[in-house]
């Protein structure tokens, strides 16, 4: 009886999908800086890169690719948060080793990982998932597995925004 439940658990879940509202969260990065998703999206799209384990092959390739394409992320006024269930000390070393210019969020208790339902069953590691979150926390893109190693899909999904103050003035259409 337990086996069918475990198998069902592998294939069901509530991973947020394109068009849905991303779960909000506040978390500290490995340096102690605080990030709140609902505040971050006001400045531009946010790429949430969940990865299984620091210093492993796929995760190293994925996060090096984000590092190497970070100028493209910035051109789209995007931001990257790399999230795993590793502890802060491990992520501090991993970020330094990669020379990554973006924050790494340790989530050892799996609070953010759980909110996005990307935790591997029976293991304390997240599945590899990438979410691009736009204005009002709307999910613009979801990638998983090997597709999430290449940041290109996430980067091109970041909507271009006008710089602050660049909005064209619209004529007043009447009295208030």
- Residue 151 sits in a domain of what CATH number? 3.40.30.10
Range 12-18 average pLDDT: 80
Residues in the chain: 176
Q: Is 168 among the domain residues? A: no
Q: Is 65 among the domain residues? A: yes
122-134 per-position pLDDT tens digit? 888 899 999 999 9
- Residue 24 belongs to what domain range? 20-157
Is the Cβ–Cβ distance between 60 and 98 less than 8 Å? yes
Number of domains making up the chain: 1
**Which of the residues are catalytic?**
59
Selection from 34, 43, 55 nearest residue 105 by Cα: 34
User: What are the angstrom distances between the C-alpha of 82 and each of 15, 18, 58, 143, 171?
Assistant: 17, 20, 14, 14, 43
Q: Is 56 among the domain residues? A: yes
CA–CA separation, 117 vs 21, rounded Å?
14
Predicted TM-score (pTM) above 0.85: no
DSSP state for residue 151 in the 8-state scheme: T
pLDDT at 137 exceeding the cut of 70? yes
- Predicted confidence band of residue 146 (pLDDT cuts 50, 70, 90): confident
The single residue listed with the structure tokens 């979801």 is 142
Is the Cβ–Cβ distance between 85 and 114 less than 8 Å? no
DSSP state for residue 131 in the 8-state scheme: E
Enumerate the H helices of the chain as residue ranges: 2-11, 37-40, 57-68, 70-75, 88-98, 111-115, 152-156
pLDDT at 113 exceeding the cut of 50? yes
């Amino acid at each position: 009886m337990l086996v069918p439940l475990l198998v069902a658990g592998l294939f069901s879940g509530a991973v947020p999908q394109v068009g849905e509202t991303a779960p909000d969260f506040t978390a500290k990065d490995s340096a102690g800086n605080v990030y709140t998703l609902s505040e971050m999206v006001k400045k531009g799209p946010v790429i949430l890169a969940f990865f299984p384990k620091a210093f492993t092959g796929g995760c190293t390739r994925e996060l090096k690719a984000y590092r190497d394409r970070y100028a493209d992320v910035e051109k789209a006024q995007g931001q990257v948060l790399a999230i795993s269930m590793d502890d802060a000390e491990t992520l501090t070393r991993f970020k330094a080793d990669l020379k990554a210019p973006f924050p790494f969020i340790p989530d050892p208790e799996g609070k953010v990982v759980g909110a996005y339902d990307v935790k591997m069953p029976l293991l304390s590691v997240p599945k590899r998932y990438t979410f691009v979150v736009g204005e009002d926390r709307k999910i613009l893109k979801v990638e998983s597995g090997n597709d999430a190693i290449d940041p290109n899909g996430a980067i091109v999904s970041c909507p271009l925004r006008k710089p602050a103050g660049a909005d064209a003035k619209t004529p007043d259409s009447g009295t208030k």
